């Protein structure tokens, strides 16, 4: 059995930032990542101005991510559309590029990384790998994204109609570029919504949160996309740029709105394992990066016992962004309220900027 003072499970943004901070401090640690090569995770990719500031202070400049900025928000519900200027420019980047840059940055700083090491479970203070190896850490940093680890399941209530995450890639094409331009689009529909943004490789990432009942009514993801395209001509126009046979990635039972409000000594939950904000807020990557930095800072100062205060403080600081995002999400998934949201932004575009500011998290360890 191997032993390590700090074990980070997951090499996405949250885990990579934690490893980077521990490496810079010279603290012994090990990061294990199940994929031998960096893949393209289903969710994430929108980086707000606050997240870009945090990344820049970590040593990852925005030009290394995507040179094309996102300056506007476009809301679409049925045949209605509204636009608003974002408080400050943001951008979209593929998770393959973001995750690669952050993990490479961590390794360049001296982070200990073991790739191709899948974790099967965490029980009785021991982390068990898929190859039957075992690691006993003093502190565990859980950064497995939306996928729960056996023995440390989040315990979020699924409800009678849980939410699924779907992702497809559109383009690249010049016509699609003209449609999307410098916007982040949110298409609102019955029991769900879709976000679209242009990434550094020219493709448009379409991430969708949809309730299981809506998918069940359609019968399949392809049929659902066809139905949504028929309901919303603008969304249909964009879906027409999907390559024939392009894969639809999916993740089940996403607990949007859940936060870990209680901590446990030696267990630092990061990213979606700490808090899963409704994706229309566009703050998932911001929370991942912030949680990784905060957890590392708490560990460096207090050791494994810093986990409880870290978790409680993070949950408290996320209470307002989550409350606002949850209310917007509840309205967005009901057609009558969605139309009212679009009408409100058309009348007062500044409302969108206010909501965008109030759903950000401050990056405290990096702001000092």
The residue to which tokens 């859940």 are assigned:
258
pLDDT number for residue 365:
56
Beta carbons within 8 Å of 139's beta carbon, 6+ residues apart:
5, 6, 7, 266, 267, 268, 299, 303, 304, 307
pLDDT number for residue 367:
44
Each residue's pLDDT tens digit, 288-307: 999 999 999 999 999 999 99
Mean pLDDT rounded to a whole number for the chain: 94
Burial of 120: CB neighbours in 10 Å, binned 0-12, 13-18, 19+: middle
Each residue's pLDDT tens digit, 261-280: 999 999 999 999 999 999 99
Residues of the chain below pLDDT 70: 363-368
Domains of the chain in start order, with CATH, are 2-157+255-367 (3.50.50.60)
pLDDT number for residue 368:
41
pTM of the model: 0.95
Q: What are the start-end ranges of the H helices in 181-220? A: 212-218
Cβ(261)–Cβ(313) below 8 Å:
no
Q: Cis omega (within 30 of 0) on the bond before 259?
A: no
The residue to which tokens 């994929």 are assigned:
35
Each residue's pLDDT tens digit, 134-182: 999 999 999 999 889 999 999 877 788 999 999 999 999 999 999 999 9
pLDDT number for residue 235:
96
Q: Give the span between the Cα atoms of 368 and 79, in whole angstroms.
A: 46
pLDDT number for residue 237:
96
Closest CA to 289 of 313, 314, 270: 270
* Cα radius of gyration (the chain): 20
């Amino acid at each position: 059995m191997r032993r390590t003072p700090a074990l980070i499970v997951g090499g996405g943004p949250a885990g990579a930032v934690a490893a980077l901070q521990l490496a810079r401090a010279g603290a012994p640690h090990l990061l294990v990542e199940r994929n031998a090569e960096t893949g393209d995770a289903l969710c994430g990719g929108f980086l707000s101005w606050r997240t870009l500031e945090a990344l820049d202070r970590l040593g990852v400049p925005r030009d290394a991510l995507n040179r094309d900025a996102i300056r506007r928000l476009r809301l679409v519900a049925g045949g209605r559309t509204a636009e608003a200027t974002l408080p400050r420019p943001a951008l979209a980047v593929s998770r393959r590029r973001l995750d690669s840059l952050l993990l490479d940055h961590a390794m360049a700083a001296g982070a200990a990384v073991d790739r191709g090491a899948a974790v099967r479970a965490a029980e009785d203070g021991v982390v068990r790998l898929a190859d039957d190896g075992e690691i006993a850490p003093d502190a565990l940093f859980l950064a497995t994204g939306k996928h729960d680890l056996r023995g440390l399941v989040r315990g979020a209530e699924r409800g009678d109609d849980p939410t699924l995450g779907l992702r497809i890639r559109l383009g690249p094409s010049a016509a699609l570029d003209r449609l999307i331009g410098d916007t982040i689009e949110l298409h609102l529909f019955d029991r769900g919504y879709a976000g679209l943004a242009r990434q550094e490789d020219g493709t448009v990432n379409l991430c969708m949160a949809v309730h299981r009942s809506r998918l069940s009514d359609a019968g399949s993801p392809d049929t659902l996309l066809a139905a949504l395209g028929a309901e919303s001509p603008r969304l249909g126009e964009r879906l027409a740029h999907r390559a024939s046979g392009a894969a639809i990635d999916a993740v089940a039972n996403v607990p949007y709105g859940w936060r870990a409000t209680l901590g446990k000594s030696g267990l630092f939950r990061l990213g979606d394992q700490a808090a899963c904000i409704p994706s229309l807020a566009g703050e998932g990557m911001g929370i991942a990066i912030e949680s990784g930095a905060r957890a590392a800072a708490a560990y460096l100062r207090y050791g494994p016992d810093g986990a409880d205060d870290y978790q409680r403080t993070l949950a408290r600081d996320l209470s307002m962004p989550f409350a606002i995002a949850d209310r917007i999400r509840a309205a967005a998934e009901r057609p009558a309220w969605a139309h009212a949201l679009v009408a409100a932004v058309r009348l007062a575009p500044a409302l969108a900027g206010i909501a965008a500011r109030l759903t950000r998290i401050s990056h405290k360890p990096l702001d000092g």
